[in-house]
Structure 1
Amino acid sequence: MGSTPQARTRSRTDADRHGNVVPLRRLGTGQSLSPIRQAEAYWTAMGGPGAIPRRSDLDPRGLGNILDQTLLLERIAPGLARVRLAGRVLHGLAGMDLRGMPMTALFDARSRAGFSDVLRSVFDGPGSAHLSLAVGAARCGDRQSAGMALLPLRDNAGAVSRALGVLVVDGDRDALPPCRLTITGTQITDLAARPEVDPSRRRSLRLVAARPD
Structure 2
Amino acid sequence: MEKQTNRYRITQTGNILYIVDSKRPSAGCIMAEMREYWQGLRRNGSVPLRADVSADAISRVLDYAFLVERLAPGMARFRLVGQHLVDLMGMELRGMPLCSLINRVSRKRVSEVTETVFRAPQIAEMQLSSQSVPGSSGIRGNMLLLPLKSDLDDVTRALGCLVSQGTVGVRPQRFDLDGTKFTPVIPGGEILQPSFPADPDPP
- TM-score normalised by length of structure 2: 0.74
Matches within 5 A, 1:130-169: 130-136=125-131, 138-139=133-134, 141-169=136-164
Letter of the structure 1 residue corresponding to residue 146 of structure 2: L
Q: 1:166 to 1:151 in 2, by over 3 A?
A: same
Matches within 5 A, 1:7-156: 34-48=29-43, 50-136=45-131, 138-139=133-134, 141-156=136-151
Give the number of aligned pairs. Answer: 164
- TM-score normalised by length of structure 1: 0.71
Letter of the structure 1 residue corresponding to residue 31 of structure 2: I
**Matched residue SS, 1:180:** coil
**Matched residue SS, 1:85:** strand
Question: Matches of 2:35 and 2:56 in 1, distance apart?
Answer: 15
* Residue 193 (structure 1) shift: 7.2
Q: 1:166 to 1:142 in 2, by over 3 A?
A: same
> Quick check: 1:72–1:165 contact (8 Å CA) kept in 2?
yes
Work out whether 1:190 is the aligned partner of 2:184.
yes
> Quick check: 1:69–1:167 contact (8 Å CA) kept in 2?
yes
Task: Give the structure with the higher percent helix.
Answer: 1
Structure 2: which 5+ runs fail to align? 1-26, 190-203
Structure 1: which 5+ runs fail to align? 1-31, 196-213
**Matched residue SS, 2:163:** strand
* Residue 136 (structure 1) shift: 3.9
> Quick check: 1:128–1:189 contact (8 Å CA) kept in 2?
yes
* Residue 190 (structure 1) shift: 2.7
**Matched residue SS, 2:171:** coil
* Residue 60 (structure 1) shift: 0.6
Aligned position for 1:205? none
Residue among 178, 188, 196 paired with 2:172 = 178
Q: Does 1 or 2 have the higher relative contact order (CA < 8 Å, sep 6+)?
A: 1
Question: Matches of 1:162 and 1:48 in 2, distance apart?
Answer: 17
**Matched residue SS, 1:34:** helix
> Quick check: 1:50–1:194 contact (8 Å CA) kept in 2?
no
